[in-house]
Amino acid sequence: MDKSLRDAAHLSRPPDNPWIKAFRRLLRNRAAAVGLVVIILFSLVGFLADVIAPYDPLKVDFAAVRQPPTAQHLMGTDKQGRDILSRIIFGARLSMSIGFISQIMAVTVGTLLGSIAGYFGGKTDALIMRITDVFYAFPSLLLLIILMAAFGRGFVNLLVALTVTAWVGSARLVRGQVLQLKELAFVESARALGASDVQIIVRHMLPNVLSTLMIAISFGVPSAILAEAGLSFLGIGIVPPAPSWGIMLNDGFAVLRAVPHVVIFPAATIAIIMIAFLFLGDGLRDALDPRG
């Protein structure tokens, strides 16, 4: 009798949500869990920069130029006496915003075009894929430099340039997934029940490619952050004196040997956030596709 009750209780229990199970698998991956904590920490630091930062990141103090790390300035100051820690904190807001927003925009564009190409096929697929091949064949860094030279420096222009160069990967991924999904029985059933093409794509196909897109975003965000830092270092990214990690590297590169802390701290920050995203991306890939 007791065994029958236990079996009945087990059968009546709702099945585990696959997303919850994937999240549990992610947390069991120590490297991915650490990466997730670091990313959340950086995001919170950027969001609360106005409260956390000890100084105004744009405030110039020529009486404290290029000071080494002290109790007053934990990471020292730059060539204009600005507090490096405060600039790194505000730079987290800028870099994380650029990384996430540009990737969301790129994935949105790529998902739209990839879904259309994969679902409708034929000439539509051929046209979109030829455009994709052109962008894919063009070196991303060179295209970014050309776009920034044409658009001019600035936050919005940088987002547009990153979106233009990053949508291709998502489009190819989504197209491949949709090509497989549209031949399955549940899509045919939805079509037989009178669902429109838009309903089939949005309600039945896109939820099945969501995990793939999440993995793509987790690897795309650090690429966008690194691209922003590189373009700002080259002088064609964010407009100074904005607290960009790339601008900080540019400012300190000329005096690297004399005052290495001006470069070490922003460079270490970029390295930490890049490693964190790579750990998270690997963990997401294993958690969302445990069959590997």
Q: Where are the domains of the chain?
A: 26-66+73-288
Give pLDDT tens digits for 232-289.
888 888 988 888 898 898 888 888 888 899 999 999 999 999 999 999 989 988 888 7
The whole-number pLDDT of residue 14 equals 53
Q: Which CATH class is domain 26-66+73-288?
A: mainly alpha
Which has more pLDDT, 99 or 9? 99
Tell me what pLDDT residue 4 has: 54
Long-range contacts made by residues 105-108, C-beta under 8 angstroms, separation at least 24?
105/159, 105/162, 105/163, 106/162, 106/163, 106/166, 106/167, 106/170, 106/220, 107/167, 107/170, 107/213, 107/216, 107/217, 107/220
Helix residue ranges, H only, 140-290 = 140-151, 155-181, 185-192, 197-199, 206-234, 245-253, 261-288
State which of 21-35, 40-54, 169-183, 192-206 shows the largest mean pLDDT: 40-54
In DSSP terms, 83 is beta-bridged to 77
Among 22-26, 115-119, 128-132, which is the least confidently predicted range?
22-26
pLDDT mean over 199-225: 88
Task: Report the pLDDT value the prediction gives residue 180, as an integer from 0 to 100.
Answer: 87
Average pLDDT of the chain, as a whole number = 87
Compute the distance between CA of residue 152 and CA of residue 113 in angstroms, rounded to an integer.
Answer: 27
Give the per-residue pLDDT at 116. 92
Q: What is the predicted pLDDT for the residue at 38?
A: 96
Decide if 65 contacts 79 (C-beta within 8 A).
yes
Residue 7 in this model has a pLDDT that exceeds 80: no
| pLDDT recorded at residue 9 | 45
Taking only the tens place, the pLDDT of each residue in 169-180 is 899 999 998 988
